[in-house]
Amino acid sequence: MIADNMTQAFQWTFNENDQEFSLHGSLRPQRADELNGCFSAMEQSVAKVSGKFYVNVRRLVRMNNVAFHAFAGKILDLVRSRSDLSVHVTTSSVVGWATRKFAVLETMSDKITVSEYDNEFYPGQSFVEDSEFIHVLRTQTKLTWRHEKELLRKHGLKPGMQVADICCGIGDFAVLLQKEFEPDRLVALDHSRSSLDYARRVAADFGIRGIDYVFGDAADMLLEDNQFDFVTCRHSLQVFDQPELILKELYRICKPGGRVYVTNEKNSHCLGEPRSESIQWTYNEVAKLWHHFDMDIEIGPKSRRLLIDGGFQNVTIGSFMVTNTDGDPQDFADVIASWKNLFAGKMAQERGDSPEFIERFAKGFDDHIFAALHPKGYAGWPIWVASGRKPL
Amino acid sequence: MQAPSEGISLNSGLPQMIHLDLDIKDFCTDWTHCDLMSGYIARMVSHNRLDSLLFSNLYSSALNELLEAVYRTHGSSGKLQCAVQRDGNVDRIELTFPADEETYKVYEAAIAKVNGDNAETLYLEALFADAEPDASLGLLELGVDYGARLAIGRNEDGRMSLVAELVLEDDAE
């Protein structure tokens, strides 16, 4: 439902399956009675609920004290009038005021709990935030940039544009964008505070100014609609269990006529000679391992379908192969070594794999490194690049 | 002149970042002016902060509460001025608006609550009171939740000033 007489659109939804009532948008009413429609819907919703009633305010961007006072009163009435009911409020760390403000509800009743939705957002976030992984991320960007620098032009990126790099990670791609394309505005957003801290330090060390690094949830961004000429999101749909939600947000912040650019992998297509069979087996297992953690490292060629289903026009897709012949083969080998450490280390252990499996799994990475460093060898890592235009 | 909260000067020498000036009657023709003004100013002053989106959202929330207080409680005629300034990571917001004695007393009582020893208790009481919130709730929230320093002062032209100093992020670029 939408209450369009409010300052900005304010919406609420109820998911009966999850017993969750969600509030979205901006809520700054002059009088509490402006919320009557919403409260009626909440009462109807809670009538169908037993046990725990979830109130989700993760996408509630603004709320004044008139609204909070009314909502707090309503939630207290609920738990006081229904002995069988408790209420859990879920806030977002992205909206600075929300957790602090709603936390006071816990002081009023032990049947009300409040928690901040955060870490579980990206299934792989704890893996990629590992400090050891920063080196590999930087090397990966170095290897892919030599290809993407030209591809970005072909996909429509030009100097002077308004650009957003969503899921910017440690921000090195944004630095390269800033240097090469000199955008009028460059916002780089990520959901990892430690990565953003690193990104800001690197930008400061390199004397790079003008990149606006912001903390945010790619599936629920505070960025306003229709802002950017070019939106990039690299290697990220694959680490998210609902990539269509991110695409929806990329679409929203892109200007009509602007383009959204995504890159993704299909890890089972990594290859190498010699020792191709061992390499192939391991990368097929990588895909299964990621699937276990609700991530799809095979999403690369599916990018076209995702963009078309997301409402984009003029969708173009292609692929490039990062190889050991792109420069120093040791760079390629370093990337694979880091994959081995992560995939055949922390992730395989967390899945509970046997020592025998891990040994064979790790050998495929070693063989890939062997192929990369072999004087007559060839090793490749394919990446799919797709972009689509938001209709005018 | 009302003594301001310790350490807050009602006439800061800081350079102006933005100064909005409008008739209080015009301001009070539409409640959404509070949201529009707070959103506009927040966006303008956030571009060079460590995290512009987070800062803007917090700044907008704080300024909106101040503007809503003035919308509800003000004198009958005159100018509303909104001046925002910055010194390092301290943001200063000064609202100057028409205020008769009765209006001034409302703010005097609210500021006394904010600067008192039991501000947090009073904040929670106001937040969960049966009656609809008055001007003091937003100011109490700023003092307790945002750690803002608040002060008021009387102007010779029949207006009053409401000043808030806030630190919304630890380190700025």
SS3 of B81-112:
EEEEEEECCEEEEEEEEECCHHHHHHHHHHHH
Query: What is the reported pLDDT for A183?
Result: 97
Q: Note the CATH number of domain A125-389.
A: 3.40.50.150
Any CB–CB contact under 8 A between B22 and chain A? Answer: no
CB contacts, 8 Å: A100 with chain B: 145
Mean pLDDT across chain B, nearest whole number? 90
Q: How far A66 CA lies from chain B's nearest CA (Å)?
A: 7
- Of A226, A213, A286, whose CA–CA distance to A257 is shortest? A226
Q: How far A153 CA lies from chain B's nearest CA (Å)?
A: 28
> Taking CA atoms, what residue in B is nearest to A93?
B54
- List A3's β-bridge partners, or say none: A10
Q: In what order do the strands lie in the sheet with B79-87?
A: B16-23, B79-87, B90-98, B159-166, B149-154
- Does some domain include residue B22? yes
Contact between residue B102 and residue B74 where contact means Cβ atoms under 8 Å apart:
no
The token pair that represents B62 in the structure block: 């704080």
First to last CA, chain B: 36
CB contacts, 8 Å: B60 with chain A: 62
- Of B37, B151, B145, whose CA–CA distance to A104 is shortest? B145
- Of B60, B54, B155, whose CA–CA distance to B99 is shortest? B155
The position carrying tokens 């899921």 is: A167
CATH number of the domain that residue B21 is part of: 3.30.565
Q: Report residue B4's pLDDT band, with 50, 70 and 90 as the boundaries.
A: very low
Q: Where in chain A is the domain with CATH 3.30.750.24?
A: 2-117
- List B84's β-bridge partners, or say none: B18, B93
Mean pLDDT across chain A, nearest whole number? 91
Contact between residue A210 and residue A144 where contact means Cβ atoms under 8 Å apart:
no
Other CB atoms closer than 10 Å to residue A254's CB: what's the count? 25
Q: Out of A143-152, A194-203, A317-326, B70-79, which region has the weakest mean confidence (pLDDT)? A: A194-203
Question: CA B143, CA B161: separation in Å to the nearest integer?
Answer: 17
B99: Cβ contacts below 8 Å, ≥ 6 apart:
B74, B75, B107, B154, B158, B159, B160
Question: CA A337, CA A136: separation in Å to the nearest integer?
Answer: 9
Residues A61-100: pLDDT tens digits?
Answer: 999 999 999 999 999 999 999 999 999 999 988 888 898 8
CA A13 to each of CA A1, A2, A25: distance values in angstroms, whole numbers, following the listed order: 7, 9, 12
If you average pLDDT over residues A220-239, what whole number do you get? 92
Question: CA A300, CA A236: separation in Å to the nearest integer?
Answer: 11
Q: How far B156 CA lies from chain A's nearest CA (Å)?
A: 31
> Taking CA atoms, what residue in A is nearest to B47?
A212
A352 phi-psi bin (left φ>0, alpha ψ -120 to 50, beta other): left
* A350 has a pLDDT exceeding 90: yes
Closest partner residue to B32 among A7, A104, A222, by Cβ? A7
Q: Is A367 helix (H, G, I), strand (E, B) or coil?
A: helix
Which of A69, A100, A221, A223 should we substitute to test contact with B (largest number of B Cβ atoms within 10 Å)?
A: A69
For A201, phi then psi, to 5°, come to -65, -45
Q: How far A334 CA lies from chain B's nearest CA (Å)?
A: 33
If you average pLDDT over residues A196-219, what whole number do you get? 89
- Does some domain include residue B55? yes
Residues A111-153: pLDDT tens digits?
Answer: 999 988 764 445 555 555 566 667 778 888 989 999 999 999 9
Query: What is the reported pLDDT for B9?
Result: 62
Whether B58 sits inside 8 A of A97 (CB atoms) is yes
Q: Where in chain A is the domain with CATH 3.40.50.150?
A: 125-389
Q: Out of A119-123, A176-180, A350-354, B14-18, which region has the weakest mean confidence (pLDDT)? A: A119-123
Query: What is the reported pLDDT for A345?
Result: 92
> Taking CA atoms, what residue in B is nearest to A109?
B128
Chain centroid to CA A144: 20
The position carrying tokens 């801290």 is: A197
Per the structure, the count of domains in chain B is: 1
Q: Out of A117-131, A168-182, A291-305, B137-151, which region has the weakest mean confidence (pLDDT)? A: A117-131
As a dihedral over the C-alpha atoms of residue A154, residue A155, residue A157, residue A163, rounded to 10 degrees, the angle is -160
> Taking CA atoms, what residue in B is nearest to A7?
B32
> Taking CA atoms, what residue in B is nearest to A186?
B47
Q: How far A260 CA lies from chain B's nearest CA (Å)?
A: 21
- Of B22, B41, B20, whose CA–CA distance to B30 is shortest? B22
Percent of chain B clearing pLDDT 90 (strictly above): 76
Pick A201 or B150 by higher pLDDT: B150
Query: What is the reported pLDDT for B47?
Result: 84
Query: What is the reported pLDDT for A220?
Result: 83
* A8 has a pLDDT exceeding 80: no
Whether B57 sits inside 8 A of A95 (CB atoms) is yes
Q: Report residue A203's pLDDT band, with 50, 70 and 90 as the boundaries.
A: confident
CB contacts, 8 Å: A26 with chain B: 35
Percent of chain A clearing pLDDT 70 (strictly above): 94
Query: What is the reported pLDDT for A126?
Result: 59
Q: Report residue A245's pLDDT band, with 50, 70 and 90 as the boundaries.
A: very high
If you average pLDDT over residues B81-94, what whole number do you get? 94
Any CB–CB contact under 8 A between B128 and chain A? Answer: yes
The CATH fold of domain A2-117: Transcription Regulator spoIIAA (3.30.750)
- Does some domain include residue B90? yes
If you average pLDDT over residues A373-379, what whole number do you get? 96
Range of the domain at B138: 16-166
Whether A66 sits inside 8 A of B68 (CB atoms) is yes
- Of A129, A54, A63, A140, whose CA–CA distance to A97 is shortest? A63
Q: Report residue A332's pLDDT band, with 50, 70 and 90 as the boundaries.
A: very high
Contact between residue A314 and residue A389 where contact means Cβ atoms under 8 Å apart:
yes
If you average pLDDT over residues A251-263, what whole number do you get? 98
- What H or E segment, with its residue span, contains residue A385? strand A378-389
Query: What is the reported pLDDT for A9?
Result: 76
- Does some domain include residue B3? no
Q: Report residue A173's pLDDT band, with 50, 70 and 90 as the boundaries.
A: very high
- Does some domain include residue B8? no
Percent of chain B clearing pLDDT 70 (strictly above): 91
- Does some domain include residue B23? yes
If you average pLDDT over residues B61-80, what whole number do you get? 96
Question: CA A171, CA A183: separation in Å to the nearest integer?
Answer: 15
If you average pLDDT over residues A289-312, what whole number do you get? 95
Q: How far B56 CA lies from chain A's nearest CA (Å)?
A: 10
Any CB–CB contact under 8 A between B143 and chain A? Answer: no
